[in-house]
Chains A and B, each alone.
Chain A
Amino acid sequence: MRTEHAILAEIPRLRRYARALTGNDADADDLLQDTLERALGKWTLWRPGNLRAWLLTMMHHVFLNQLRTRPPIVTLDEDTPSIPVRPQQQDELDVRDLDRALARLPPDQREVLLLVGLEELSYADTARILGIPQGTVMSRLSRARERLRAILAGEDRPVHLKVVK
């Protein structure tokens, strides 16, 4: 398969991950574009193998860079006024709630949670992509899941999070 086709085939998954990681469409596409730029620039370094893992590794590095260079635009805390949102569609509300819940996880936990829980990667692949030991993957995963559980259950600063039904 051609390179461009191979990368193109990975884009929907990269986009899904980027969307969940960043919490909104604009940042997700920014992350994806920066990732592709980096990947295309380093293309000569790629050796036939797991293209998806390679691209996700790129995305991880770009994500870290973006965290370092741009502070989060919106910080949700107890003082943030809660704006009631009533979208027409039920699933839209769910996405927003989940976006907010994920935003409250530390980025390193969020990455692990999503690579394992959404991208369904093995712990070993996740460890390679993030450049951390597998034991760290498991501890971050464990903490992320507990934190997410608490957030969704309303135990963790539930002020602005309205769990739907």
Chain B
Amino acid sequence: MNKERIGKEQLHAYVDGQLSAAESAQISAHLVDHADDRASVEIWRNQKTLLHAAYDRQLDAPIPHAIAAQLNSRPNKHFRQATIAAAWLAMGIGIGFVADRQFSPTPTDPTLALASLPQRAAVAHAVFTPEVHHPVEVGADQEAHLTAWLSKRLGHTLRAPKLAAEGFHLVGGRLIAADNGPGALLMYEDGGGQRLTLYVCTDNQDSGATAFRFAHQDGVSTFYWIDGRQAYALSGKLPRESLLPIANAVYRQLNGEG
């Protein structure tokens, strides 16, 4: 036996559970008749207990809003929580893809940023669609250039969905400032001058996929969703039931099914 050769390092390792069961048993046996070492072990264990007693409360503390929002990279102070929450209750459509989490707009909810998406999209819609002379920066007659340019700025390939079957044609698009970088706004119009906008922005992290969500604000309906690093929102002054099939078409085409 090498009972007498047990060093301080082994005692620390013993306290920290770094030893195999056999080594541990050996130390336990050693401690029986080595009061000094036993006292050290006791002190170190007490220190660990003290640390946990003092700081474990952090584990149950609510995560500060600023930190949760930071994680989403898109804090939005003007986010109209109540409006969105009400809109939430009014929806619940899973359109053939992942619908796996519930949203509640609490400060710690990781989907907080997602909830600010429809508002940003609705604002962009409201700002740009009334434009008569310059509704877009690059027109549909230069669609290849438009999508190449926006793809480059967004950092992922953006295709402009074709919505002819839904009665809308592409007007063009523009670069916009999203919350944490460049975003794109594509605009569509139907024969009666009704305009739709597709708001696209890229996050710096993959957020998986979400179900379609719906929000209605100041007369603007928005279906929005996240797919990987891209967030999309389709907005129009249409009733929800009219906008839904169009959102479906957009979604299918962006996922290469259209």
Contact = CB atoms under 8 A, between A and B. Distances in A.
A7 interface: yes
B59 A5 contact: no
Contact of B58 (A5, A8, A16, A116): A16
Contacts of A7: 71
Interface stretch (A36-44, A66-74, A79-87): A36-44
B16 interface: yes
A55 to B, nearest CB: 12
B205 A43 contact: yes
Interface in B189-240: 204-208
A157 interface: no
Interface in B124-140: none
Contacts of A141: 12
Contacts of A113: 47
Contact of B110 (A5, A29, A145, A148): A5
Contacts of B103: none
A148 B205 contact: no
A40 B205 contact: yes
Contacts of A91: 53-54
B12 A29 contact: no
B55 A118 contact: yes
A7 B58 CA distance: 16
A2 B207 contact: yes
What is the interface of chain A mostly: helix, strand, loop, or mixed?
helix
A64 interface: no
Range of interface residues on chain B? 35 or more
A12 B50 contact: no
B165 interface: no
Nearest to B51: A118
Contact of B51 (A40, A114, A142): A114
B112 to A, nearest CB: 10
Contact residues of B: prevailing secondary structure: helix
A12 B61 contact: yes
A19 B59 CA distance: 11
Given A8-B63, A15-B61, A3 B205 contact: yes
A94 interface: yes
A122 interface: yes
Contacts of A117: 16, 44, 47-48, 51
A120 B59 CA distance: 14
Interface string A146-162: 00110010000000000
A5 B70 CA distance: 13
Interface string A130-142: 0000000010011
Contacts of B207: 2-4
A24 interface: no
Contact of B70 (A36, A99, A120): A36
Given A16-B56, A95-B54, A95-B55, 12 more contacts: A12-B58, A36-B67, A41-B204, A43-B205, A117-B44, A118-B52, A120-B16, A123-B13, A138-B12, A142-B8, A149-B43, A152-B50
5 contacts: A2-B208, A4-B205, A8-B63, A37-B70, A118-B55
- The 9 closest A-B CB pairs, nearest first, are A16-B58, A2-B208, A118-B51, A12-B59, A95-B54, A98-B54, A20-B55, A117-B48, A4-B110
